[in-house]
Amino acid sequence: MNHPVLIAAGRTQASKDELQFIVTNLIGTYYPVEAVLTADIKEARKDALYICEDTEASQLLTVIPEENLFPLHLEVVSEHFFVLNKVPEGETLYVFNDTRPFADHFLEQCVDAHLNASAFERITFEDTDPAIVEKALKEAKYITGTDFLTKKGSILQTTYKPLLREDVTIFPARRAPSMETSAPLIHRLLSERIEELKQSLAEVKKEGNEEKAAALLEEANTANLEFRLAALQSVTIGVQPFRLKESDITEVDEGPIPEGTIPQIEMKIGILEKAKADIINLISSPIIVPADKEEAERKLGK
């Protein structure tokens, strides 16, 4: 089977690595995810689906067809703000980032979360005078920022490490995609997977090879599990950002199991087809996203 290639495109090394991790965490490992710099994309690969941050979409749409570009809106996971409450009252919390837009947004979220910290400052190393960055880092006792910029081995803890206080406390923040922006990617991959299974099923029927049929049934079972995990992950990832396991999924009554391998494969494909419709219904729910069903279907390319 020819699987689509997934490419995570980021403006910087840190952003592309973060996006690669986020996508793999969302959809699992069936589709390997490559990571490239946005500036290195001169033309779109015909066999690839591209994933980027929503802030990078307009630039990439000049090169990549809209139907093959999946912008994700990333936010710091909600549990991180509980962690940030470890900063004592009277202290300043610094947000470390490459540029101002996300740093300002993160600062606003910190203020809205009513944290214990008494003041909030940003340190943006790409668009700020290096002398100002150096001064701020030498003063900062409490620092937060996206994990790929602040965790061990990141630019903060390598390039800027000599400037940090010995008693500095760093809070790396994990980000996750919104359900609304991750759903189109899951829907597209699910559609691709269904077509792969249908094509293989047609070949198995033609050949009448029971061994291949058994292998295809196992693959169909795996696909059902993977996409149930991905759908659940898309809902929970903003709160609990770690990859879910099979044991996290509750049992679902799929009805009576038909006799014979081929009918069982057809049943599994039917379940995946229903899952496609469920994704549309999920993101068009007025409780979650103020969009009607037609708009949801348009976004998903139905």
CA–CA distance, 200 with 124 (Å, rounded to integer): 51
CA–CA distance, 87 with 113 (Å, rounded to integer): 13
What pTM, to 2 d.p., does this model score? 0.80
Measured between alpha carbons, how far is residue 72 from residues 55, 108, 176, 182 in Å?
Answer: 9, 20, 9, 6
8 Å CB contact between 43 and 72: no
Contacts of 256 (CB under 8 A, 6+ apart): none
Which of 41, 105, 96, 91 lies closest to 69, judged by CA?
41
Given the DSSP bridges, would you call strands 74-76 and 175-177 parallel, antiparallel or unpaired?
antiparallel
- pLDDT tens, position by position, for the chain (302 residues)? 567 899 999 999 999 999 999 998 888 888 889 999 999 999 999 999 999 999 999 999 999 999 999 999 999 998 899 999 999 999 999 999 999 999 999 999 999 999 999 999 999 999 999 999 999 999 999 999 999 999 999 999 999 999 999 999 999 999 989 888 988 998 898 888 888 888 888 888 888 888 888 888 888 777 776 777 676 666 655 545 555 555 555 555 566 777 788 888 888 878 777 777 777 666 555 444 444 445 445 544 54
Q: Within 13 Å, how many C-alpha atoms sit on residue 210's CB side?
A: 1
**pLDDT for the residue numbered 300:** 46
